[in-house]
Amino acid sequence: DGVLYSEVRRPCRVMLLLNPHSGKGQALSLFTGHVQRMLTEAGVPHTLVITERQNHARELVREVDLSQWDAMVIISGDGLLFEVVNGLMEREDWEAAIQTPLGILPGGSGNALAASIHHYSGSQPVSCEELLVSCGFMLCKGLVSRMDLVSVHTASNQRLFSFLSLAWGFVADVDIESEKYRHVGAARFTVGTLVRLASLRVYQGRLAYLPVEEPPSRPPAQVSPPPPASAFCSSLLCRPSGASPGQNTFHNSCNSNNAAKAKRGDGTAPAPRGPPDSLLAPLEQPVPGDWTVVEEEDFVLMLAMYQSHLAEDLLAAPGAALEDGVIHLFYVKAGISRTALLRLFLAMEKGAHLASSCPYLVHVKVRALRLEPFSPKGVITVDGESVEYGPIQAQVHGGLARLISG
């Protein structure tokens, strides 16, 4: 633990999955206009796969021969990476498959993970094309870090893996309702927030969590200090001596893909996919005794975040790190005025909402949580995607995945 960057390893044979309908529908022109040449000049061989429908990427990575690929990179919003992560975790060889370095190039309207890794790199906030270029450089550099995943269970016993967020109430409603404003790009969340504020409501349910016990011996994980911005460019242009442009100069360093060595299943009953969730009791049973049950049952929102950004311009969890095994649980209690809630979201742009000491906002660091909404209908989102509504619980798995970051 501690500084968790692995060695510099330039990913080669990158599968680039692109959702042509993400964001304003410009992912392909964003790729050809800003990233393609960068990758070619850096000598990163890549194959572009344009998704044809929802779950295309998920099915593809579930079946693909991973020994042929050194990284899976998406150019889209967070939703396409959600497909890739879950496709990998649905494989028999999930344990090796989830070691495949993943990458993200922001091409959607919800680019929260891209904004988070840009933030972790210590760079000033940027948006749109500049964020894309920043993530393009990270991909060329090929630094791989570990990333936490959160295992999520729904009432019908579905299991999902999440890298970003679990939301209910105000935030989840905005996420789904703002789909219709996707033509405005990332601004859809601002528009959606204002619309939802006008019809602010209370959501009832029971929330419980397992708090992080903070031993003084283990300081929070820190990312290593980023190189100066110019180092991105120079490392992009430098090649090992003797290598010529277009050559697969980093091939030798790319052959250690564990997935290639993973044994296939032998046809016996499939083992449960993913690591065991040792912190969770079955959803039908009460939460374990060391959990905290929140007294309030009237909420405006519940938001669990494991990375810093909720959207490109919303620094919801300033203390989050890529791999620290922490879920930042936020909830806003009913009774908050529209103005105060708006003020919270405005402050979130700079991550200042926690310092505003709003008495309705609660923030706790947790390892696991359970939510039992009382109303029969509603919206719950995981990584910005709508999932089965009803009782839901989750636990974090520190560093389960690997991500190309700064």
3-class secondary structure, 39 = helix
3-class secondary structure, 79 = helix
Region binding Mg ion by CB under 5 A among candidate stretches 131-139, 180-188, 376-384, 390-398:
376-384
Region binding Mg ion by CB under 5 A among candidate stretches 70-78, 177-185, 222-230, 298-306:
70-78
- Give the integer Cα–Cα distance in Å for 213 and 208: 15
Q: In the range 83-112, which residues lie near ligand ADP by CB under 6 A?
A: 83, 108-110
Q: Determine the number of helices (DSSP H) and then strands (DSSP E) in the chain.
A: 12, 17
In the complex, least distance from residue 86 CB atom to ligand ADP, rounded to whole angstroms: 10
Region for 36 from its dihedrals, namely left if φ exceeds 0, alpha if ψ lies in -120 to 50, beta otherwise: alpha
H or E element in which residue 113 lies = helix 112-120
Query: Residue 266 corresponds to which tokens in the numbers above?
Result: 């032998």
Q: Are strands 14-18 and 46-50 parallel, antiparallel or unpaired?
A: parallel
- Give the integer Cα–Cα distance in Å for 130 and 28: 16
In the complex, least distance from residue 385 CB atom to ligand ADP, rounded to whole angstroms: 5
In the complex, least distance from residue 312 CB atom to Mg ion, rounded to whole angstroms: 12
21 binds, among ligand ADP, Mg ion, none (CB under 5 to 8 A by kind): ligand ADP
Determine which one of 78, 93, 148, 324 is catalytic. 78
Q: What's the chain's Rg over C-alpha atoms?
A: 21
Q: What is the DSSP string of 53-81?
A: STTHHHHHHHHS-GGG-SEEEEEE-HHHH
The amino acid occupying position 154 is T
319 binds, among Mg ion, ligand ADP, none (CB under 5 to 8 A by kind): none
103 binds, among Mg ion, ligand ADP, none (CB under 5 to 8 A by kind): none
Q: CB under 8 Å to 294, separation ≥6 — which residues?
A: 206, 207, 208, 209, 331
Q: Are strands 144-154 and 159-162 parallel, antiparallel or unpaired?
A: antiparallel
- Give the integer Cα–Cα distance in Å for 315 and 305: 10
Distance, CA of 11 to chain centre: 20
Q: In the range 173-192, which residues lie near ligand ADP by CB under 6 A?
A: 182
363 binds, among ligand ADP, Mg ion, none (CB under 5 to 8 A by kind): none
22, 116, 190, 249: residue in contact with ligand ADP (rule CB under 6 A): 22
76 binds, among ligand ADP, Mg ion, none (CB under 5 to 8 A by kind): ligand ADP
H or E element in which residue 193 lies = helix 188-198
Please tell me the count of residues contacting ligand ADP according to CB under 6 A: 22
Region binding Mg ion by CB under 5 A among candidate stretches 69-77, 176-184, 361-369, 391-399:
69-77
9, 15, 62, 79: residue in contact with ligand ADP (rule CB under 6 A): 79
**Interface with ligand ADP, residue 53, by CB under 6 A:** yes
The residue sitting closest to ligand ADP, measured at its beta carbon, is 77
The amino acid occupying position 45 is P
3-class secondary structure, 280 = coil
Look up 383 and say whether it is catalytic: no
Q: In the range 58-77, which residues lie near ligand ADP by CB under 6 A?
A: 76-77
- State the binding string over 371-390 for ligand ADP (x if CB under 6 A, else -): -------------xx-----
**Interface with Mg ion, residue 77, by CB under 5 A:** yes
**Interface with Mg ion, residue 351, by CB under 5 A:** no
Q: Which is nearer to Mg ion, 183 or 218 (CB)?
A: 183
In the complex, least distance from residue 126 CB atom to Mg ion, rounded to whole angstroms: 20
CA distances from 314 to 80, 346, 360, 380 (A): 20, 9, 19, 19
**Interface with ligand ADP, residue 51, by CB under 6 A:** yes
**Interface with ligand ADP, residue 136, by CB under 6 A:** no
Neighbours of 403 (CB within 10 A): 24
Q: List contacts with Mg ion (CB under 5 A).
A: 77, 79, 110, 384
Provide the annotated active-site residues: 78
Chain positions contacting ligand ADP, by CB under 6 A = 19-23, 51-54, 56, 76-80, 83, 108-110, 182, 384-385
